[in-house]
Structure 1
Amino acid sequence: MAEPTTVAPPASAACGLPIPDAAPRAAAVPFGLVRAARPRQWIKNVLVVAAPAAAGQLVSRHTALQLGIVFLLFTAAAAGVYLVNDARDAHADRAHPVKCRRPVAAGDVPVPVAYGTGAGLALGAVIGGAVLCNALTAALLAAYLAMQCAYCLRLKHVLVVDLAVVTTGFLMRAMIGGVALSIPLSRWFLITTGFGALFMVAAKRYSEAVQMAGHDGRTRALLTEYTTGYLRFVWQLAAGAAVLGYCLWALESGGTANGSLLPWRQLSVIAFILAVLRYAVFADRGTAGAPEDVVLRDRPLAVIGLAWAAMYAMAVADL
């Protein structure tokens, strides 16, 4: 005997809100599009300065202008992906206690509008990369978009591959600043950034799995395939690899360079490890589901980050 099928309630009904009108007000659509583009997530795109900062090339006006352009291009590309993803996941998001409030799932932005705006932003980002930067920048943006489209269509449902794709998205953010400015990318930079991103991604998945325990996979089916023990193992392994990579890079130069007062690059290892340990507190509690909130709202983590940045700056300046 076939099992009865269940019909998901409308977004607002699932959230305990009034059911929205079938056709949202025209004035509400632009605001909904901005919200769907995840302004709070744009902080992730600050990673575009990572490669030039690691190379100590952040002082010229040309560099600042170019990085500003790259930031806007990657923000547009990521916003396009968010819109397309929300359009595809609108039905599933309505079963989530938080995601049901997303503009597309809640009915504030029609699905066709989300698809069209997302595609326009993605295409504009690639064209802008070719015109305003260089061919490699456009190619990296195109590769990012292709990977994210594959993720939305299929890869988000493949164990481990979904973690790798999201991690690679962060790594591409960190790489694109160097690509746009033709700065060689260090192997240690790629290793540390890659495993650091995997640490945050796995911690996010772990937090989601903890918070959604008992919901029978209604929100993200793949969460039922992972165990919390496995996800904990992944973020702990990634954290260790990121710390090891950073230590090897920092210690590679030996002692002080060019008469510097202290070995700032080696000392920055302390701040880096403290930052990882501090973030791991939230990961262990299962409250790292929104990395941008952890980074922006935790004052001790912000102080540690500023201390690391100061030591790194003094290492670059040979002070």
Structure 2
Amino acid sequence: MSKVSDKAEKAGIVDKIKGYVRLARPKQWIKNLFVFAALIFAKHVFDVDYFTKVLLAFLCFCMISACVYIINDVVDAEKDRLHPKKKLRPIASGMISKTEALVFLAVLLPVAVTFAFMLDTSFALVLLLYFANNILYSIKVKHMVILDVMSIALGFLLRVIGGALVIKVYISPWILLCTLLLSLFLGFSKRRNELVVLENGANSHRKILKEYSLEFIDNMLSIVTACTVMAYSLYTFMSSNENYYMMLTIPYVLYGIFRYQYIIYQKKEGGSPEETVLSDLPLMINIILWALTSIIILYVE
């Protein structure tokens, strides 16, 4: 009996650990890769000191993102139980209690902030601004039409800015503009997926969805898509004085956007950008090829 109970206890501990890992949502950390944008475009990828600092900045964003996800899951636990996928989250499913989640938050948040200040003060302030933006989003902004998506976009911008500040390099305004537009595209795509998946129950899960309609979101997506392609194209035209090879990366951007639209319109997915990228092989290959091509063009004179 003791062996059986010991096995059951060990299994319970393993399940609890898995619950904490899922609570931190490591799959969504892929969004923190935007921190590396400044490193790549400032041509310091192969500089060990610069790369190490940005890698540590990436880890800081992963920890602070986990804190944000914990808070969101605690606040939205009841609503998540009404969602076909979100009901499986640790708190909504009962795997982790709200008290356990808050204790985890109380440990992780100070570690993330302290580590960030040890890395760079300016970067730490951006990290805190990112955290404050997400808290404000959870409390108020997520109930404000259009501003809710713009708040999500601000989070992506802060990642790029943080990555630039930690290594003290200049970041092109074109990169910031492209990041803003791309993140708006992902944000509106997420809202569209929620409307399609939840259908008549959309309002009960997220009140802000009653302010959106498929027609309205499709119009926003059309505008943002066109602006994203134009902004990126203009960036490639002006990236170097006499080096226009970055124009060769435009087809990757076009395919990536078109492929993502195919996913949200034909496959009825796109509610989670990170899961969409990781689960769609053509899209993932396209992103990798874009990154490799960009690095070759930028670093090989």
Question: Fold-level match, TM-score > 0.5?
Answer: yes
Which blocks of at least 5 consecutive residues in structure 2 are unaligned? 1-11
2:4 corresponds in structure 1 to none
2:281 is the counterpart of 1:299: yes
State whether residues 77 and 125 of structure 1, in contact with CA within 8 Å, keep that contact through their aligned partners in structure 2. Answer: yes
2:217 corresponds in structure 1 to 231
2:249 corresponds in structure 1 to 268
1:252 corresponds in structure 2 to 238
1:316 is matched by which residue type in structure 2? L
CA displacement at 1:284 relative to structure 2: 2.4
Match for residue 100 of structure 2 among 102, 113, 117: 113
2:39 corresponds in structure 1 to 52
Percent identity over the alignment is 29
2:186 is the counterpart of 1:186: no
Match for residue 207 of structure 1 among 190, 193, 200: 193
CA distance in 1, matches of 2:224, 2:18: 38
State whether residues 63 and 181 of structure 1, in contact with CA within 8 Å, keep that contact through their aligned partners in structure 2. Answer: yes
CA distance in 1, matches of 2:151, 2:230: 22
1:232 is matched by which residue type in structure 2? D
1:136-176 CA-to-partner distances (Å, cap 9, x unmatched) read 11100110111111111111111111111111112212222
| Aligned partner of residue 205 in structure 2, secondary structure | coil
2:261 is the counterpart of 1:280: yes
CA displacement at 1:295 relative to structure 2: 1.3
CA displacement at 1:216 relative to structure 2: 5.0
The alignment's C-alpha RMSD in Å is: 1.7
CA displacement at 1:275 relative to structure 2: 1.5
Q: How does 1:1-319 map to 2 (within 5 A)?
A: 28-131=15-118, 133-253=119-239, 256-257=242-243, 263-285=244-266, 286-319=268-301
1:181 is matched by which residue type in structure 2? I
State whether residues 96 and 218 of structure 1, in contact with CA within 8 Å, keep that contact through their aligned partners in structure 2. Answer: no
1:146 is matched by which residue type in structure 2? A
| Aligned partner of residue 292 in structure 1, secondary structure | helix
CA distance in 1, matches of 2:25, 2:202: 27
CA displacement at 1:256 relative to structure 2: 4.7
2:17 is matched by which residue type in structure 1? P
1:217-262 CA-to-partner distances (Å, cap 9, x unmatched) read 22112112211111122222222111111111111157753xxxxx
CA distance in 2, matches of 1:89, 1:129: 28
Relative to its length, the structure with more helix (as a share) is 2
State whether residues 122 and 145 of structure 1, in contact with CA within 8 Å, keep that contact through their aligned partners in structure 2. Answer: no
Distance of aligned partners of 1:161 and 1:30 in 2 relative to their CA distance in 1, 3 Å threshold: same
CA displacement at 1:309 relative to structure 2: 2.0
CA distance in 1, matches of 2:240, 2:70: 47
| Aligned partner of residue 169 in structure 2, secondary structure | coil
1:8 corresponds in structure 2 to none
1:285-306 CA-to-partner distances (Å, cap 9, x unmatched) read 3311121122122222233223
CA distance in 2, matches of 1:154, 1:272: 34
CA displacement at 1:116 relative to structure 2: 2.7
CA distance in 1, matches of 2:188, 2:174: 21
State whether residues 82 and 118 of structure 1, in contact with CA within 8 Å, keep that contact through their aligned partners in structure 2. Answer: no
CA displacement at 1:118 relative to structure 2: 2.1
Q: Could you state the TM-score of these two structures normalised by the residue count of structure 1? A: 0.85
2:8 corresponds in structure 1 to none
CA displacement at 1:122 relative to structure 2: 2.4
CA distance in 2, matches of 1:305, 1:28: 34
State whether residues 50 and 177 of structure 1, in contact with CA within 8 Å, keep that contact through their aligned partners in structure 2. Answer: yes
Q: Could you state the TM-score of these two structures normalised by the residue count of structure 2? A: 0.90
CA distance in 2, matches of 1:276, 1:238: 11
CA distance in 2, matches of 1:103, 1:208: 20
State whether residues 200 and 235 of structure 1, in contact with CA within 8 Å, keep that contact through their aligned partners in structure 2. Answer: no
